[in-house]
Amino acid sequence: MTITSKDNEQIKHIKKLKEKKYREEYNEFIIEGIKMIEEAMQENVKIKSIIICDDCKTQGAIPNELMYEIAKLNCIYVAEKVFSTITDVINPQGIMAIVEKPISEEKEIDYNETNFLLLDNIQDPGNLGTILRTADSLNIKQIILSKGSADAYNLKVVRSTMGAIFRVKIIEVQNLSKTVKEMKKHKIKVYATDLQTDKSIYDVNYEKSAIVIGNEANGVSNEVLEEASERIKIPMIGKTESLNAAVATSIILYEAFRSTRKIK
Whether 159 and 224 share a structural domain? yes
The per-residue pLDDT for range 132-153, each reduced to its tens digit, is: 999 999 999 999 999 989 999 9
Taking the model in full, what pTM does it have? 0.89
Q: Are 81 and 108 in contact (CB under 8 A)?
A: no
Q: pLDDT category, 105, cuts 50, 70, 90?
A: very low
- Of the candidates 44, 137, 37, 42, the one whose C-alpha atom is nearest the C-alpha of residue 96 is 37
Contact in structure between 55 and 80 (CB atoms under 8 Å): yes
Q: Examine residue 204 and state whether it is found in any structural domain, yes or no.
A: yes
Residues in the chain: 264
212 located within any domain = yes
Residue 158, helix vs strand vs coil: helix
For residues 141 and 5, give the distance between their C-alpha atoms in angstroms, rounded to a whole number: 42
264 falls within a domain: no
Position 54 in a domain: yes
Distance CA 127, CA 160 (A): 9
Confirm whether 34 is domain-assigned.
yes
At residue 264, the pLDDT reads 47
Q: Is residue 208 part of a domain?
A: yes
Number of folded domains that form the chain = 2
Same domain as 235, residue 112: yes
Rounded CA-CA distance 28/239 in Å is: 45
> Do residue 115 and residue 245 come from a single domain?
yes
The residue out of 101, 131, 161 marking a domain boundary is: 101
**What CATH number does the domain containing 37 carry?**
3.30.1330.30
**Hey, is 124 helix, strand or coil?**
coil
Q: Whole domain around residue 62: which residue ranges?
A: 2-101
CA–CA distance, 170 with 26 (Å, rounded to integer): 18
Q: Is 113 found in the same domain as 22?
A: no
Q: Which amino acid appears at position 8 of this protein?
A: N
56, 78, 101 - which closes a domain: 101
pLDDT per residue as tens digits for the range 210-260: 999 999 999 999 999 999 999 999 998 888 887 899 999 999 999 999 988
* Residue 95 bridge partners (DSSP): 52
For residue 95, with 0-12 CB atoms within 10 Å meaning exposed, 13-18 middle and 19 or more buried, which class applies?
buried
Confidence of residue 71 (pLDDT cuts 50, 70, 90): confident
In a 13 Å sphere around the CA of 66, the CA atoms on its Cβ side amount to 20
Query: Reduced to 3 states, what is the DSSP secondary structure of residue 97?
Result: strand
Same domain membership, residue 185 and residue 201: yes
Residues 161 and 208 in one domain: yes
Torsion sign, CA atoms 169, 173, 177, 179: negative
* 67 and 150 share one domain: no
Q: Which residues of 106-129 are buried (b: 16+ CB within 10 A; e: fewer)?
A: eeebeeeeebbbbbbbbebbbbbb
Is 230 a domain residue?
Answer: yes
Whether residue 94 sits in one domain with residue 162: no
Of the three residues 101, 123, 148, the one that is the final residue of a domain is: 101
Backbone angles phi, psi at 63, to 5 degrees: -60, 145
Q: Are residues 176 and 198 in the same domain?
A: yes
pLDDT number for residue 61: 77
Which CATH number is 192's domain given? 3.40.1280.10
Q: In terms of domains, do 40 and 142 share one?
A: no
Strands of the sheet with 2-3, listed across from one edge = 2-3, 75-78, 47-53, 95-100, 28-32
129 is a domain residue:
yes
Give the rounded percent of residues in the chain with a pLDDT score beyond 70.
96
Q: Element (H or E) spanning 246, and its range?
A: helix 245-259
Same domain, 112 and 230: yes
Asked if 75 contacts 49 with a C-beta cutoff of 8 angstroms, the reply is: yes
* One domain for residues 112 and 225: yes
Report the distance separating Cα 152 and Cα 69, nearest Å.
27
